[in-house]
């Protein structure tokens, strides 16, 4: 089996972030493997180890993002593909899906895994868009994932709005993974050393028949604002009957929830 995992390099969310005059300032030197991507890589490795096969990671990003590919390979992936794009400013979910669809259109795979969203934008749209462009059956927000050889299908346990669902998705398919799915392994020294010897193919947009203008990405950020301060809570006093009356009045007339 071949599992392909789309990964992303994102700013370290634990690094200091400031918003000043509508501009976001962060430490761009602290870039890491996205946590949702890491969970997708881990689950692909678990299934490949159980059923046999290989794991390939695919990333769209600038030259420095190759460090993130090497980290995923150090976890145990067999190979990597780096779709090299130095300027990723303004790229939205649709643009990433267009680039990835161009790559996968000529590839063979049993399953494509992605994070359900990325830590930098939290948009959560690329996986579904990619599945639509490739015409693949698709399941989102997986918190559990197994492969059933008897039916050649992925058994997906996904988190819905009111509970969990179990869905059978025939391969080839695409599944987006929650970071609640597992605890990604930490690469050991052997894996880190081996990652330097494994293959990472570098692909340009031109190799995919694309150009910077053709991939879209018309979304732009007009500015950033800090979260507004929370209003202080209200302390109610009185006997039980009086408290109940005050509470009902607040819920009805201020909160408008009853």
Two tokens at 212? 């910077």
In a domain, 254, yes or no: no
In a domain, 233, yes or no: no
The enclosing domain of 127 has a CATH number of: 3.40.50.620
In a domain, 156, yes or no: yes
Two tokens at 57? 């990671």
Q: Which domain holds residue 171?
A: 2-208
198 and 79 Cβ atoms separated by less than 8 Å: yes
Q: Could you report the per-residue pLDDT of 15-70, keeping only the tens digit for each?
A: 877 888 878 777 667 889 999 999 999 999 999 999 999 999 999 999 999 999 99
Instruction: For residues 120 and 126, give the distance between their C-alpha atoms in angstroms, rounded to a whole number.
Output: 13
Two tokens at 236? 């109610």
In a domain, 247, yes or no: no
Inter-CA distances, 221 with 61, 95, 116, 126, 128, Å: 19, 15, 22, 18, 22
Domain count, the chain: 1
Q: Could you report the per-residue pLDDT of 80-115, keeping only the tens digit for each?
A: 999 999 988 888 999 999 999 999 999 999 999 999
Cis peptide before 182 (omega within 30 of 0): no
In a domain, 215, yes or no: no
- State the pTM of this model: 0.85
83 and 62 Cβ atoms separated by less than 8 Å: no
In a domain, 213, yes or no: no
Phi, psi of 75 (to 5 degrees): -70, -25
């Amino acid at each position: 089996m071949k599992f392909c995992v789309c990964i992303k390099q994102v700013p370290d969310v634990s690094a200091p972030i400031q918003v000043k005059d509508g501009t976001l300032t962060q430490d761009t030197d602290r870039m890491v493997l996205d946590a949702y991507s890491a969970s997708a890589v881990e689950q692909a490795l678990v299934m490949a180890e159980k059923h046999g096969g290989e794991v390939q990671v695919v990333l769209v990003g600038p030259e420095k993002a190759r460090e993130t590919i090497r980290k995923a390979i150090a976890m145990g992936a067999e190979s990597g593909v780096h779709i090299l794009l130095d300027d990723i400013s303004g790229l939205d979910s649709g643009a990433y899906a267009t680039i990835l669809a161009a790559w996968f259109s000529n590839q063979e795979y049993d399953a494509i895994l992605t994070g359900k969203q990325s830590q930098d934008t939290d948009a959560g749209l690329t996986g579904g868009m990619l599945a639509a462009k490739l015409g693949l059956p698709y399941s989102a927000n997986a918190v559990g994932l197994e492969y059933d050889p008897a039916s050649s299908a992925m058994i997906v346990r996904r988190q819905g709005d009111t509970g969990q669902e179990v869905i059978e998705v025939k391969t080839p398919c695409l599944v987006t993974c929650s970071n609640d799915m597992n605890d990604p392994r930490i690469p050991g020294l052997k894996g880190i050393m081996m990652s330097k010897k494994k293959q990472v193919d570098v692909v340009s947009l031109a190799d995919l028949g694309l150009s910077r203008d053709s991939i879209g990405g018309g979304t732009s950020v007009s500015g950033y604002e800090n979260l507004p301060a929370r209003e202080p809570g209200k302390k109610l006093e009185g006997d039980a009957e009086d408290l109940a009356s005050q509470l009902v009045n607040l819920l009805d007339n201020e909160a408008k929830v009853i």
